[in-house]
């Protein structure tokens, strides 16, 4: 069964939040994949930090840690900017812009992000080029043991107006400070929260080739004693993921290949080398176990 974003949103709009979550969870794939960029050894001569960064990436997998980023550190500057407001309308109804900005900040900074793909390793040439340093990096296969934090990305050609969404949210929040909300009003506030959160699962259509599933981890689950600036490494067991395979890019250097083979052996998982498949009429990669 393929995830249908319209069905999911319709359940939310009908206040069927539990059913919407159940529908999402039932469609989370068994496995997702992550492309990893590795710098070339020739760059090490100029800056030793490149090699250290490569080792951190490899060692973190061996230690079963996964880096989660804040939204500001993602590569697309339009991330989480699906919603927009018309200031003239907001001012017309005397809603303070600063409160809307505070609400935006609260939602945008309420979680940490990890991005995965469900693309087949053999047909992901753009992904290998963009995210694995022109096939010099590698690709990690993860089994999802706990689907709670996973959300599919939908792709839209335009941003969505959110004047009423923000104004209604503010009205209910302000009323809740002075008076008790009715059950219907509580439902509406939950609806607005779901729609604001959904902003984090939408990207422009130009990214559609990525077939992304996103892990959104609430910050309140991170220990208060831990500072989160650009992101944080969290145990994979907490996130509900487990590495099950490593795929070396067809141009991955031997220096890195040896380290990755050693890491895969310690984890007890299979490791493969990607190759150009010259025996078929399609543009496909093949892979073989190493």
Task: Centre a 10 Å sphere on the Cβ of residue 76 and count the other Cβ atoms it contains.
Answer: 13
* SS3 at position 220: helix
Q: Which two tokens stand for residue 33?
A: 């994949």
Beta strands in 78-201 (DSSP E): 83-84, 111-117, 138-144, 150-152, 154-156, 160-161
Q: Report if residue 79 sits inside a domain.
A: yes
Number of domains in the chain: 1
pLDDT tens by residue, 61-90: 999 999 999 888 888 888 888 999 998 998
Lowest-confidence range among 71-80, 110-119, 234-243, 244-253? 71-80
How would residue 49 be classed by pLDDT, with cut points 50, 70 and 90? confident
- What is the extent of the structural domain holding 265? 24-289
Q: Report if residue 85 sits inside a domain.
A: yes
Residue 44 has pLDDT above 90, yes or no: no
Q: Report if residue 65 sits inside a domain.
A: yes
pLDDT for the residue numbered 40: 80
Nearest to 241 by CA among 86, 67, 48: 67
Share of the chain above pLDDT 90, in %: 68
Q: Which two tokens stand for residue 23?
A: 């529908």
Q: Report if residue 18 sits inside a domain.
A: no
Q: Which residue has the higher pLDDT, 263 or 48?
A: 263
Share of the chain above pLDDT 70, in %: 96
How would residue 279 be classed by pLDDT, with cut points 50, 70 and 90? confident
Q: Cα 97 from chain centroid?
A: 29
Residue 97 has pLDDT above 90, yes or no: no
pLDDT for the residue numbered 127: 94
Q: Report if residue 7 sits inside a domain.
A: no
Q: Report if residue 170 sits inside a domain.
A: yes
Q: Report if residue 195 sits inside a domain.
A: yes
Q: Report if residue 86 sits inside a domain.
A: yes
Q: Which two tokens stand for residue 57?
A: 């990436």
pLDDT for the residue numbered 287: 93
SS3 content of the chain, % helix, strand, coil (to 5): 45, 25, 30
């Amino acid at each position: 069964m393929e995830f249908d974003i319209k069905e999911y949103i319709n359940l939310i709009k009908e206040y069927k939040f539990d059913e919407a979550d159940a529908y999402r969870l039932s469609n989370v794939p068994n496995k997702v994949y992550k492309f990893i960029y590795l710098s070339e050894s020739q760059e090490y001569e100029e800056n030793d930090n490149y090699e250290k960064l490569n080792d951190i990436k490899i060692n973190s997998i061996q230690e079963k840690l996964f880096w989660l980023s804040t939204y500001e550190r993602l590569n697309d500057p339009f991330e989480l900017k699906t919603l927009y407001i018309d200031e003239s309308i907001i001012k017309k109804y005397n809603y303070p812009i600063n409160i809307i900005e505070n609400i935006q900040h609260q939602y945008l900074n309420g979680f940490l992000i990890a991005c995965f793909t469900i693309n087949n390793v053999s047909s992901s040439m753009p992904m290998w080029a963009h995210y694995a340093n022109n096939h010099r990096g590698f690709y990690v296969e993860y089994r999802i043991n706990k689907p709670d934090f996973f959300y599919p990305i939908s792709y839209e050609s335009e941003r969505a107006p959110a004047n009423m969404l923000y104004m209604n949210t503010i009205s209910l929040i302000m009323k809740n400070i002075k008076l008790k909300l009715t059950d219907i009003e509580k439902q509406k506030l939950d609806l607005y929260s779901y729609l604001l959160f959904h902003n984090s699962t939408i990207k422009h259509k130009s990214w559609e080739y990525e077939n992304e599933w996103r892990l959104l981890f609430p910050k309140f689950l991170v220990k208060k004693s831990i500072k989160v600036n650009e992101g944080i490494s969290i145990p994979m067991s907490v996130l509900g993921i487990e590495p099950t395979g490593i795929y070396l890019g067809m141009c991955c250097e031997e220096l890195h290949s040896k380290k990755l083979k050693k890491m895969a052996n310690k984890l007890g998982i299979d490791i493969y080398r990607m190759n150009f498949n010259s025996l078929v009429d399609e543009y496909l990669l093949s892979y073989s176990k190493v």
